[in-house]
Amino acid sequence: DAGITQSPRHKVTETGTPVTLRCHQTENHRYMYWYRQDPGHGLRLIHYSYGVKDTDKGEVSDGYSVSRSKTEDFLLTLESATSSQTSVYFCAISESRTQIKNIQYFGAGTRLSVL
């Protein structure tokens, strides 16, 4: 299994509070991704990173920010959580974006509830 650790695994928070989710990898992969997964939707990309301090927006980036200060860590921040951000959040990593090396491997997920 790819060495990906997400923390926390579960979190309950209140509307309006800031929340930070952490993804840590031990594979030294260049690319890291944050997805959310909701019933009736596929996995949807929030943000991704292609290197330290290099990030870009995905399909559903509104209300989220990210940071990557080290190769191994990718943080996802909800500046002011809303109930619509209740979801399961998955971190993924890939070695490259070309051919077979762009296979994404997923962390175990963080289940976030915003009350």
Partner 1 sequence: GQNIDQPTEMTATEGAIVQINCTYQTSGFNGLFWYQQHAGEAPTFLSYNVLDGLEEKGRFSSFLSRSKGYSYLLLKELQMKDSASYLCAVRGEDALNFGKGTSLLVTP
- Residues near partner 1 (CB under 8 A) are 40-45, 48, 58-59, 90, 99-100, 102-109
Kindly tell me which of 42 and 62 has the beta carbon lying closer to partner 1. Answer: 42
Q: Please name the residues in contact with 93: beta carbons below 8 A apart, sequence gap of 6 or more.
A: 2, 4, 25, 27, 29, 31, 32, 33, 104, 105
Kindly tell me which of 48 and 114 has the beta carbon lying closer to partner 1. Answer: 48
Kindly tell me which of 54 and 79 has the beta carbon lying closer to partner 1. Answer: 54
Cα dihedral 48, 74, 50, 86, rounded to 10, equals 0
Least distance from partner 1 to the Cβ atom of residue 43, Å: 4
Kindly tell me which of 49 and 104 has the beta carbon lying closer to partner 1. Answer: 104
Least distance from partner 1 to the Cβ atom of residue 94, Å: 9
CA angle 61, 63, 66 (to 5 degrees): 65
Least distance from partner 1 to the Cβ atom of residue 78, Å: 21
Least distance from partner 1 to the Cβ atom of residue 18, Å: 25
- Whether the CB-CB separation of 115 and 17 falls below 8 Å is answered with no
- Whether the CB-CB separation of 36 and 44 falls below 8 Å is answered with yes
